[in-house]
Chain A
Amino acid sequence: MSNAAITASPAAAKTGTKNRDLVIFAVLVAVGLVAPAVIYPVFLMKVLCFALFALAFNLLIGYVGLLSFGHAMFFGFAAYVSGYAVKAWGFSPELGILAGTACAAVLGLVTGLLAIRRQGIYFAMVTLALSQMVFFYCVQAKFTGGEDGIQAIPRRALFGLIDIKSDLAFYYLVLAIFCFGFLVIWRTIHSPFGQVLKAIRENEPRAISLGYRVDQYKLLAFVLSATLAGLAGATKALVFQLASLTDVTWQMSGEVVLMTLVGGMGTVFGPIVGAGIIITMQNYLAGFGEWVLVIQGFIFVIVVLAFRKGIVGEIQAWWTRRANKV
């Protein structure tokens, strides 16, 4: 993946990039704060959940160079756990989300230990195999409700105090969770830990010879990515008051690849843009019936043939070219 992923801007501009990212993020949050005035909040929440999911996925492919083809297992399993905890055990939402996220972290640790020793296409296949097993467990286990899923998950008061029944109130909670997730990822990739990850992506043998315990770094990144994917899934279950098999299928794993690819792998904001575009498309093309498949297929083909860096990546590249000319 390394030849494809976008290498970060030249080192000289590093601090500048860092600050600029934060400014853009602040603007995004500001837009997020007022957006529900014009846009349907449930739709926005869906975009935010998937954007967080894609960000978590991007941490792995964009910064470690590992293509996971089974990330749906963290997303979907966390959704089941948080849904079940809230519905059957009467957990409050924050505890439900926490429970789901924690389970995803544990699942990430177990699967990570198994998968992390493999590379490239084999890594993708191991994660796919593991996620198919999780899918099978979810089909068979009693608590997931099989094909029906867990339906009518209640929205209890946050911390037992704050009423979040209305979509608008819940939206701000989701926005807060999203911001938390984004900042964790942003902090990670700009930390020394993140630098080591990039070093591994660029040249693993050299990282090993420099004395880094590569497997431990990869595992930690994998668990972090799984945990955040779980956070997104756990939140989504409460947004839609539903946890279903769709979220654990391999097609869901494929979808998050598509989002990240369209937005731009290894870019800070790419996954957000990608998730926004794909979700918008799915929502508003629903009326085209059979053509949705065809259109999605065309997007894949066009992106792969013409915009391999993704939307944000291409814009970045264009900007750099222009800056270099001047």
Chain B
Amino acid sequence: MSFLRRFPTICLFLTGVFSLVSTVSVSAAEDWESFYDALMNRGYYDVAVTYLESFRNSPSIPDDLATELDNYLGETTLELMRTSATKAERQLYSDQAREYLDRYLSQNGGGEHAYKANSALADLYTEEGNDEQARLQKGLSETERKKIEKTVQDDYAKALDYAKTAVAQAKEAAQRMKSSDATSHSAEAQIIYADYLGLRIKENDLLMKLAETYPEGADDRKSGLETARAAFDALYEKYSKYPGGFKARLLETKAALALGDKAAATEYLDELLALPMSKALYAIKTETILLYGQMIIEKGEAADLFRLMIAFYDWKYANDLPPVFYITAEGLQIHLLAGQAVLKLDGIKNSEPKKYADAAKTVFNDQKPDVLKSVTKLLAKPDKQAYEWFDFVYRQKSPFSAEAEKLLADPVFAGRGNPATDEEPTTFEDAVERLNRAWTNFTQANADAGNALTAETSAKTAARKSETARAVERAMRAAFQTAGRYSAEPGQLDKLRLQWATLNFMTGRWIDAEVLGDFLLYKRGGSAIAPKAAEISLLAAKSAFREGKKNGVEEAELDELHRAVQSRAEYIVQKWGGDLTGDNLLPVVREALIVQMDTAVTAGELDKAKEFLNAIPESSTAYADAAIQFGQSLWSTYIELLNQKNEDPESVADATLQEVLESARASLEAGLKKKLELTSGGRGDDLPTVNAALSLAQIDLLSGRAQEAQEWLLHPNIGPLTLVERRFAGVVEQAAEKPAEEPAESEEASAEGGEAPAEESGESAETESAETESTEAAESNASATQDLILPPSPLSDPFQLSALTLGLRVLVATQDFEHAEKVMNCLELFVSTGVGSEERLTLVYLQLGKQLQEQIQTLRQSGDVETLRSITSGFEGFLDRISARSQGNTYMTLRWVADTYFNFGLGLKPAAAAAAPTPAAEGEEAAPETSTDQEDAQNAAEYFKKAGKTYQTILQRIEAEPEWAASPNAKVATTLRMSESLRELGRFGSAVKVLIPILETNETNLELQTGAALILQEWGKKKRALYPRAIQGAVPRKGGKNLIWGWNRIIALLSRNIDKSPQFKEKFYDAVINKMECRNEWIAGITDPAEKIKQAKGGETELLKLHKLHPDLGGASYKKKLESYLKAFRETAGEPSDEGFPQPQQQPQEEESAS
């Protein structure tokens, strides 16, 4: 029966008993309670019974369990009964539980835990009554019906008696607790009070159930319901702050409904729906949503349906309820109601748009924008959503599956496929048909899992894959069973075996796949399916070997796995390979050859691998496919080795990596060229070939052959980018023609649920479509692009995303910026239509930025000024074009553009003067700049200006549309970068001014404070008085504290966290160096010699103190820098010395004490 109905009881019971016994001193060492608890939590009720029973008549039974054994056994067996699938089992466990509990009560009738046993017996009879009542729904004769009704009444009446006894006993126990100050507030007392409340609710719930067994209009029914309702009302009034009180209110609602008082029920439900979705209220909220849904679904008023959808969204998507809530009887029914609600709403939207709009406006008016947005999304594709929820219910194989199946039969779902029924198949053909349906679902789920691009979708699709795989297994078993029963042909059974082998392979069960595949390979070698079976067996063996190698299994085991692969491959080549020259070389033979090559590569025998490939004559058609496949295999191996090397640099030699990469390239190129020759230039629907072109382009880019990479990507027939762009042709223009910001034609928009704001359309707020508001308010600008539909493509989403991202990188590398922009548009459109993720896009941009930065650095180091200028100016044109676009730019695009300008500026900025500080002396001239330096400085300033301007554009856009930014931190981060741009331009005052408002609300942001101190420090070069401000802070506020902290306070804060992470440590020493720089520069300007010496000595002392506290001084590099400041201070103080910081052992003990 319902999990939710028993959930509170279970909790109260478990909490109560365990807490009570835990206070008793345990003499035996066995931690039986913890073990029992863990078994119950895992649902191993049967083991718990076995475990408890093992203590009966045992001298080692723990003292605290001895008296309670039957009570525990009764409750545990009751759980076993609740989770039993068959009626016979339920009856068996019910009888056992009764026996245990009766025995317990006969021996401990007046004991302090007797009320729990009586409560459990009440549950037991309630369950039995519920079982009987369920039978009433089936077609019965009048006599039978009456008989069952009587049994139900009797069961509920018995349950009520036990509940009443339990209430009386719990009351006594509670009063005993309350009577003494020592116990009245104890934890034990709290549990008993809670149990007492729970039992009173249970008692009145049973009273209501009993009343409902009487016919409509009967006095017994009315009086019972009224009594229960009054009792619930009293409990709610008394405990209105506790979950128990809300539970009473929920039951009061049910009683009111049963009595026909719908107005009161509605009022109560509104109260309950408004409760927060907190953990303690999950069960109550779930029941409330169900009750509300059941109440409103028939009438189907739009406003009620909208409310139901909001509650459903809150329950299903906005909170993290334990998944078990979704598969309870209540949860499943809620899914069905939600599906019906979206379909009904869609009907109203189409037939009575005004009514729909008005209702939406009323209901969504006081909802938060994110709720509005999310619910609108659910409503956008009603048939898809409804199908998903109905299908979910159907698959749970519960009593509600039948209803779900009926709902799924609605013509609106035509084309989505009908789920297989759960009834046992009647013929072998029937079983096979069901298996095929299950198989279709599985293969789709498998493809979805392969297509998943984000962690979230990956987890969901993986779960769906295993769920459908289980369904296939069930169908497979059923098929084998019926095959035996109906004498299927052996060939048919072999087909099933092949399918099973395939399933095992696709779900990573290599051994099972090998065994089944081998059976068909060796025992049915002459059959038509043998080659396919052989392929599965071979691939499974290969996967087992790869996995074993990855997992570091022992060498002997690995050798065995290797032999398993080789023996199969050799057998296959021998059996079907002939002389390997035939044009019709079986795919499995090719696979066997590849496997042989592949395992040779994995085993580090590259030459041997090549020998296998060379065994196929280059002139044969098989060669092209084999070479491509071999190249792909080598490419995968290269990636594996690279990952291995990243983890352990010594594990793989550079030369090995290079050799594998070059071999992969050579093989792919040879295969592709041959393929193009054989197929008159290649075909776009030949996916392995297209895939190979992508891999080759990746390798080419990696090897510095951007031009070749571009050629493969843009090959007219098989170029991955060509094919993807072809798909986007027209759609990008469509997106450009229908910009999100642009209001649609008002009349048309209104007629369709509209997109034009009221002000612009000139219509009054009342007549405006409510969906207009909801959509506009909720959806971001991306909504326009989400409406665009890309034509279908045989290429998977991850493949297309890879082609676009690789294309962008290659085109930037070859400086084809015009084309790069087009690809960028496709990429962003692809992401905005729901494929991929913003994170992925950011990563692409970051990779691109890094690639550029590396290119520029290399060129600067090599002194290739021409190429450097050509690249920067070419790329600048690309950036200018992106930033100048009036529409379509996302936050990420613009940030990337601005950051790239900024980095160009930093890259061209002339290097700072000598890194080591010099003794402080005023009026020293900086070294004269060369003309190249001046030119670079001018160019750098231009880039900083462009960066600043773009940051400003971003900030203006964020100000106007806060939702446009990717994250809440976007404003702070962009402001900081803008102030840095101004700082680099020497506009220090503006830089500080930009930071102040953001500092007001983010004073403790270390990045901002560091940025502000750096501005003051840089400003100090022009205005010396600002050096002390950089150290001590600036912009005083009320109370005397500075808004800009300065290095002193930054250092103080960091010093407390220096050991928390290397980053903090680094920031700490950076701040110290900056402070020393400011101090040294400040001292240089002091004219009074005595003061100058005093300040320099102060600097020296400060550094020595720092050394005493942190002898490592942040490592060699920082220590060296700080030592140069130490020497500079000493020199300024007139005490020059070559000595640095004292050695650690020189620290005398007195100094330690002093410090």
Partners in one complex: no
